[in-house]
Amino acid sequence: MECLRSPCGRAKQNAANRARSPRRKPLYYYIDTNRLIFASEIKALLAHADVDREVDPHGVLNYFAYGHAVGKDTIYKGIRKLLPGHLLRVRDGEIDIRRWWNAAPGQSTTRSPSECAAEVRRLLEDSVRLRLISDVPLGAFLSGGLDSSAVVAIMARQMGRPVQTFSIGFDFGAAFNEYRMLAESPRIAVQSIMRR
């Protein structure tokens, strides 16, 4: 549960080490015989003159089949994504990619289910409270799922005023329009974007 308050682990930074936290932005990289180039977005790699832009048919197929890249692949042959919780190390011309973090099951507890639920709630409320410290107006994207709904409910209780939220709805069926239900709450100010 400490992950609710701070990044899940730190990577040692030495030589040409690059690590990806399990909950941070992706790290993309390009390696050839002369260089390692990395960035948090593919477009930054494509801006480099030495990066090969040859399309990977397998990566394109995955993109069209699943709507996103799969695993370490991208739609470019030479560009790869470092998987979450992995470390890429280049030392003396040798490349080593390995897992450095894994979500291990927690230790067993003697707490009752209600005590566990109370602790999760306490940690979540503390996490939201820490993020409400801001010099600019706060808002949230409200998907209608359990996690964003819980965060917005806690924000509303802690802020003491309606939370400015943003949601996306569809005009082709009530089953897809959770934002209408959300808009009925007096503690939430919903801005919606309709998609046809």
108-151 pLDDT per residue, tens:
889 999 999 999 999 999 999 988 887 778 888 877 677 888 88
The stretch 161-167 carries a mean pLDDT of: 79
Please tell me the chain's helix, strand, coil percentages from 3-state DSSP, rounded to the nearest 5: 30, 25, 45
Position 162 confidence tier, pLDDT thresholds 50, 70, 90: confident
At 36-91, the pLDDT tens digits run 899 989 999 999 999 989 999 999 999 999 988 899 999 999 999 999 889 898 88
User: Would you say 48 and 112 are in contact if contact means Cβ atoms under 8 Å apart?
Assistant: no
User: Would you say 18 and 28 are in contact if contact means Cβ atoms under 8 Å apart?
Assistant: no
CATH class of the structural domain 113-195 = alpha beta
Nearest Cα residue to 143 out of 90, 74, 193: 193
Classify 77 in phi/psi space as left (phi over 0), alpha (psi -120 to 50) or beta.
Answer: alpha
Strand partners, 97: 88
Q: Which regions of the chain carry the CATH code 3.60.20.10?
A: 2-99
Listed range (5-14, 111-120, 146-155, 176-185) with the worst mean pLDDT: 5-14
Q: What's the pLDDT score for residue 123?
A: 93
Q: What is the pTM of this model?
A: 0.50
Cα Rg, the chain, nearest whole Å: 22
If one counts every other C-beta atom within 10 angstroms of the C-beta of residue 27, the result is 20
Q: Which regions of the chain carry the CATH code 3.40.50.620?
A: 113-195
Phi, psi of 180 (to 5 degrees): -65, -40
Helices (H), 8-110: 42-46, 57-66
Evaluate whether the domain defined by 2-99 bears CATH number 3.60.20.10: yes
**Assigned token pair, 116:** 């566990």
